[in-house]
Amino acid sequence: MSSSYGKVDEREHAMLEARRKSRKRIAIIAVSLVVLVGIIIGAVFGTMAHKKSTTVETNVNGDPISVSVKAVCDVTLHKEKCFETVGSAPNASSLTPEQLFRYAVKITITEVSKALNTISSSGHNTTMSACVELLDLTIDNLNDTLTSSSKGDVTLPELVHDLRTWLSSAETYQETCLETLAEFNDPESMTFGESQLKNSTEMTSNALAIITWLGKIADSMKLRRRLLTADVAVDFYGGRRLLQSTDLRKEAHIVVAKDGSGKYKTISRALKDVPEKSEKRTIIYVKKGVYFENVKVEKKMWNVVVVGDGESKSIVSGRLNVVDGTPTFKTATFAVFGKGFMARDMAFINTAGPSKHQAVALMVSADHAAFYRCTMNAFQDTLYVHAQRQFYRNCTIIGTVDFIFGNSASVLQNCRILPRRPMKGQKNTITAQGRTDPNQNTGISIHRCNISPLGDLTDVETFLGRPWKNYSTTVIMDSFLHGFVDRKGWLPWTGDSAPATIYYGEYKNSGAGASTKNRVKWKGLRFLSTKEANKFTVKPFVDGERWLPATKVPFRSGL
């Protein structure tokens, strides 16, 4: 008789324990979903409770509007378009708000695809080709939204954050297309673009409003991640291997060197060896030297790491600019679209000069992108934080007009921000944030940074930013502001005021430029409480605790 009789085998015990935890997790999820359904039903019927009328509302086809459709459309910015589109869903009266959200995304993909086909066939000039690329990115983000929302409960907090990010980016890409068409003052192209994108932009905005509403309902009942993580291990790193080495150059898969000592002499050539949509890191070591090239990390190049010998040694240099005929969106010396990108100990510069106006050094339109000990150096529009979620740590950003701009959710932490001398008669503006929709989860957060002049700027007016769009969102927290910052702090885009809908915040800054005594008297300028400031820190604003640990870039999660 075996001496182990009556004992449970360790492997069998582990399997039993795993099944027990799984059953518990399923029970928790089931309870959560039951509660959520109750909340949504309450919200749906709550919208109708105060309207006890015998009149039956109808959609454009004359069909009665269901209670669920009315509930989701009432939270949108373009209600008529919502009733026209979402209200025409097959069996709309029997669909839940979550199902209506998925339908809203699905029909938006169809609408953007129509616009893409029309614009693609309209010509092949520089601006139209930029729009084609941007609408292609829009469809990618909408597809990501549809795929992820179809896999499970869309109201889980981490998934809501993802969905809002991708829909915010989808809106941004369409807006950038219109900006590109407007850049060269061609009224015919502008009118054409606006007519083609009117439906798709409104529908994207409506989908964003619906998921934002669903997320708020879930939050109101404290359906937090803790309900699902009591016994569950969550993979926050998406299959990516932790970057354990302190010197990534020693782990490089590809070496680039101007002197021929590496595999390739250009970064662009090295990127061609990156496998498509890889969940594993591809580390490219760029040896010291100045690389005169315009580099693009394509959208299918996932998890690329570019590491140099230092931000004063490994330099990528370009000079594309608007004055010479390139749209702002295409001027970047280094452009990133592939998710999970990281750069370390690198410099990105645009040498076009101030007279060439918009000339981007670095443009980032990739989700979960991180930059550590890097320099971005140009004049106007140096750093284009275009879309998605981004993090910058111990970086140096140098420029003049609107030199940190875009509509991503970005945190700049422990960075040096150095305004330089602009063209004669120009004012320096550090930020120009491009939020266009109150439901977007975008903005620029400058946290624990140093804002000082590069040289003597005593005769140059320098401002913290100006509101590029109606919902421009920028906060500066726990940072040092040198006395050269204009005492008014912020500059209007036009006229002498700003839209009441902007969100500009200052919190516990120091230095002679931090005094708020003579700041502009705008409704949208706030001097934040600790609770308000916390919303713009790494953890809640860019969901950083879920993806930054894998990069091994140091970060401060809260204030």
Question: Which part of the chain has CATH 2.160.20.10?
Answer: 245-386, 400-558
- CA torsion 167-168-173-178 (nearest 10°) is 120
**Average pLDDT of the residues in 380-403:** 98
Q: Is the pLDDT reported for residue 8 higher than 60?
A: no
The three-state secondary structure class of 31 is helix
Q: Is the pLDDT reported for residue 87 higher than 90?
A: yes
Active site residue 74: no
**Average pLDDT of the residues in 231-259:** 69
Tokens found for residue 304 = 């690329």
Q: Is the pLDDT reported for residue 30 higher than 60?
A: no
Write the CA distances from 252 to 243, 284, 378, 436, integer angstroms: 11, 6, 29, 40
The residue among 92 and 204 whose pLDDT is bigger is: 204
Q: Is the domain defined by 245-386 classed in CATH 2.40.10.120?
A: no
Sorting pLDDT into bands at 50, 70 and 90, what band is 3?
A: very low
Indicate the CATH number for domain 67-222.
1.20.140.40
How much is the pLDDT for 220?
A: 75
Over the chain, what is the mean pLDDT? 88
For residue 389, the cross-strand partners are 409
The residue among 92 and 390 whose pLDDT is bigger is: 390
CA 93, chain centre distance (Å): 34
First to last CA, the chain: 64
**How many Å apart are CA 136 and CA 170, to the nearest integer?**
10
Q: Is the pLDDT reported for residue 443 higher than 70?
A: yes
How much is the pLDDT for 11?
A: 45
Tokens found for residue 26 = 């399923």
How much is the pLDDT for 125?
A: 82
How much is the pLDDT for 137?
A: 98
Tokens found for residue 123 = 């010509």
Q: Is the pLDDT reported for residue 61 higher than 70?
A: no
Say which residues have a Cβ less than 8 Å from residue 192's Cβ, sequence separation at least 6: 122, 181
Percent share of the chain, pLDDT over 70: 84
Ordered alpha helix ranges (H), 74-96: 79-85
The residue among 156 and 406 whose pLDDT is bigger is: 406
How much is the pLDDT for 242?
A: 54
The predicted model scores a pTM of 0.88
Polymer length in residues for the chain: 559
**Average pLDDT of the residues in 232-238:** 39
* Element containing residue 317 per DSSP (H, E): strand 314-318
Q: Is the pLDDT reported for residue 102 higher than 70?
A: yes
Q: Is the pLDDT reported for residue 258 higher than 80?
A: yes
Question: Which part of the chain has CATH 1.20.140.40?
Answer: 67-222
* CATH architecture classification, 400-558: 3 Solenoid (2.160)
Tokens found for residue 232 = 């569950």
Model confidence pLDDT, tens digit, residues 310-328: 999 999 999 999 999 999 9
* List 345, 381, 402, 437, catalytic entry: 402
Q: Is the pLDDT reported for residue 82 higher than 60?
A: yes
Nearest Cα residue to 289 out of 255, 261, 314: 314
The three-state secondary structure class of 395 is coil
CB burial of 518-549 (b: ≥16 within 10 Å; e: otherwise) equals ebbebebbbebeeeebbebbbbbbbbbebbbe
Model confidence pLDDT, tens digit, residues 109-129: 999 999 999 999 987 788 999
